Amino acid sequence: MNSFLLGLVITLLIVAAWFAWRYYDLKRRIERYSNEIRKLEKNLPTDVSHIENLSNAIASLQTAFNLQLSTLNSNNARLSTVLEQLIDGVLIADADGFIQLANPAAQKLFDASGVVGRSITEVVRNHQLVDAWRRCQQTREVQSESVELPARRQFLQLIAIPDTHASGSLLLVQDLTRVRRLETVRRDFISNVSHELRTPLASLKALTETLQSGALSDPEAGPRFLGRISTEVDALTQMAQELLDLSRIESGQVELILAPLVPKNLVTSAADRMRMQSERAGLKLSIKCEDGLQNIRADKSRLEQVLVNLIHNAVKFTKPGGEISVETESATGGIRFAVRDSGVGIPAESLSRIFERFYRVDKSRTGSGTGLGLSISKHIIEAHGGKIWAESNEGRGSVFYFVIPLANS
Ligand SMILES: Nc1ncnc2c1ncn2[C@@H]1O[C@H](COP(=O)(O)OP(=O)(O)OP(=O)(O)O)[C@@H](O)[C@H]1O
Ligand SMILES: [Mg+2]
């Protein structure tokens, strides 16, 4: 029994000793961990500074990125403004010919909207222009092509440039219609001037030769031929003067002396100047003026010249017994003047052309005149900020209208 108790006590002591050892071991390990954590805390500030550096680097990267982004955005905005304002059409197409970008001018030139995503062939609708784009795609070299589109009365030039960053191409389309028209007008002008000069010069030559070969001493033929020479010289002088006027007005060299003018006074003074001529031609010239018209702002002598030109035409193209009336009334945009006649009229197809230089409806019918009067008149009216046009009923008569802005507008 005693030995049993002794054994129990020894066993209890061993168990107690094991627990005690476990307890101390645990405590020692906890202390070691706490020390290590404490040591970690001491190192913490160094790590925070690393993190701060990193965050600064990220922040400056972001600032640089934002700066680049805003530069890119403003460049994009500038580029799109340029593209929008450009009068030349710009199309960018991918390698398969599908349009990726089109400025408003391109859409207008090709008379198409919503062109992005559509094919070049579908939008351009002209095989010569499409061929130029194909050549550019195949050769990767700049190609250009000019075409006339009779249906749209347009003259276009296309320049296809290969895109160096992508496999597509950039198409630049220029509308050369106006330039072409001006070239034609200039060419016609020179040939018309030489033609118009040839006729009186040939007569002068013939007349002087006749005089030289004896007619000078003829008491009847001599003075008659000299009279005809004088008439031809007058016609040439008038033509030279008209050409000079026209070129001065066209090049903007003529300065208008603008002042407030009473419309009725202008009409009266122009009609008075032409009264005798119209009476001699057997025509009745009258004036119709609306009451209380406001003043216009105009160059008196130039505007009177326009009215005289129009009345002179009316006299030339109205048969004896006919009527001419010069009218004024208020209209949108200012005061409207009209010169109405009961003459031969103008065919509808010529109405849009009579204001062109040297244009005469029927050269054999016109008799005197070089076809410059209406062209000069148009320039004078436009220089005043007004507009001029004609209406006519062939065989019944014509009306020439022009509107001049008010003095206080
Ligand atoms: N009132 C009119 N009635 C009929 N035809 C007209 C009338 N006015 C002008 N025309 C036509 O328009 C053409 C051009 O007129 P415009 O005044 O420019 O030239 P013109 O009278 O022939 O010559 P210019 O005025 O240089 O002496 C005329 O030749 C004529 O065919
Ligand atoms: Mg005339």
Assess whether the C-beta atom of 341 lies below 6 angstroms from ligand 1: yes
* Helical residues (DSSP H) of 125-176, grouped into ranges: 127-139
State the Cα–Cα distance between residues 240 and 227, nearest whole angstrom.
20
What's the token pair of residue 398? 């014509």
**Averages of pLDDT over each 10 residues, the chain, 409 residues:** 70 77 84 78 64 84 90 91 91 93 91 88 91 94 90 88 89 91 80 80 91 90 91 87 83 85 95 93 96 93 93 95 97 95 94 89 68 91 94 96 91
| Single-letter amino acid code for the residue at 47 | D
Assess whether the C-beta atom of 110 lies below 6 angstroms from ligand 1: no
Helix H or strand E segment including 377 = helix 373-383
Q: Are 307 and 317 in contact (CB under 8 A)?
A: no
What's the token pair of residue 54? 């990193």
Q: Are 273 and 232 in contact (CB under 8 A)?
A: no
Helix H or strand E segment including 59 = helix 2-85
First to last CA, the chain: 139
Instruction: Give the closest residue to 294 by CA, choosing from 403, 387, 388.
Output: 403
Q: Which ligand is nearest to the CA of 370?
A: 1
Nearest CA to ligand 1 atom 7: 313
Distance, CA of 166 to chain centre: 32
What's the token pair of residue 244? 């000079």
Assess whether the C-beta atom of 99 lies below 6 angstroms from ligand 1: no
Assess whether the C-beta atom of 342 lies below 6 angstroms from ligand 1: no
Q: How far is the CA of 398 from the centre of ligand 1 (A)?
A: 11
DSSP 98: B
State the Cα–Cα distance between residues 75 and 108, nearest whole angstrom.
25
Q: Are 343 and 365 in contact (CB under 8 A)?
A: no
In this predicted structure, what is the pLDDT of residue 134? 94
Task: Enumerate the β-bridge partners of residue 172.
Answer: 90, 159
In this predicted structure, what is the pLDDT of residue 47? 63
Which residue segments constitute the domains of the chain, with CATH numbers given?
86-175 (3.30.450.20), 181-250 (1.10.287.130), 259-404 (3.30.565.10)
Q: Which ligand is nearest to the CA of 369?
A: 1
In this predicted structure, what is the pLDDT of residue 80? 87
Q: How far is the CA of 206 from the centre of ligand 2 (A)?
A: 27
| The model's pTM | 0.58
Q: Are 89 and 110 in contact (CB under 8 A)?
A: yes
Helix H or strand E segment including 241 = helix 221-250
Q: How many CA atoms lie within 13 A of 19 on its CB side?
A: 6
Task: Enumerate the β-bridge partners of residue 406.
Answer: 296
State the Cα–Cα distance between residues 89 and 107, nearest whole angstrom.
7
